[in-house]
Structures are given as structure tokens and as C-alpha cells.
Amino acid sequence: MITLLYLSSAGTKFSDSELIDLLTKAREKNTRLGVTGMLLYHDGNFLQVLEGDEASVRPLFERINRDPRHQSVIKLIERPLAERQFGEWSMAFRTLDDLPVEQVEGYSDFLNKPFAEELTSHPSAAYQFLLAFRESAR
């Protein structure tokens, strides 16, 4: 089993209804593939973690990499995984565009910096960021 974390830019900004449609389709496909994870969307950028069997995750990532809705796809982390961190998630998303980060306990200006630059410089921080969202949603 592996985990794969990537960052990409949307070809065009997604509306909430487009994100919900994307999520619905991703959940169906990922459930069939046995893939779990989380998708965050902020200011036209996606941050997604995928986890599952290598034979499912790698081809899925390659399809995402070829998908015209994703541009500038950057793989941040790919590593073996002993235990799923997002096992109860067939896929979930959270848009960060309207999040009042100043009111969030432990606020960091992490989200106010250029998304791609900050996350590619600190891929482990990006993974921890997703884990924190997982915990806040429980």
C-alpha cells in the first residue's frame, strides 16, 4: 500500500457545484478502486492525498496528471504506507476559499502564502495539513 500526495492548479476555477460533481464521481471511482484520501481546493489549486494499493494509486495519479482540469501537477510525496490515514474517507473535499482562517485556533499564515510555492517547499507540512483537516472533521 502507498500514499501519494500531489498539488495541481485547476485549468479554470471550479464552482461549488462543479466541485461537488467532481467529488461524487471521485468517490464512486475510488470506492471501486479501494482508494481513500482527501482533496482540498483553494484559490484554483488542488492538494490531494491518495492511499491504497500501488496498482490502483499510481494509474489513478497518471490519469489525474493527464486530465485537462489539472495543470502543473506536482507529486509532493509518494511512499509506502503501513496503515491508512484516511481509511474512512472514500474521498472528501474542503474548499478553503471562504475559510475564516484568522478565527481558526492555531492560525498560521500558511494559506496566505503562494500555495504551490509553500507546499512544494514543505511537502511533509502539506501532508500534516491534510491530517489536521481529517482530525477536525471527526
* Residue 103 confidence (pLDDT): 47
How big, in percent rounded to 5, are the helix, strand and coil portions of the chain? 45, 30, 30
Supply the pLDDT for residue 26: 82
Q: What is the pLDDT of residue 106?
A: 36
The domain limits of the chain are 2-136
C-beta of residue 26 within 8 angstroms of C-beta of residue 60: no
Q: Architecture of domain 2-136 in CATH?
A: 2-Layer Sandwich (3.30)
pLDDT at 33: 92
Positions in the chain whose pLDDT score sits under 70: 89-120, 122, 129, 133-138
The reply to whether the predicted model has a pTM over 0.75 is no
Q: Which residue from 96, 88, 91 is spatially nearest to 118, judged by alpha carbons?
A: 96
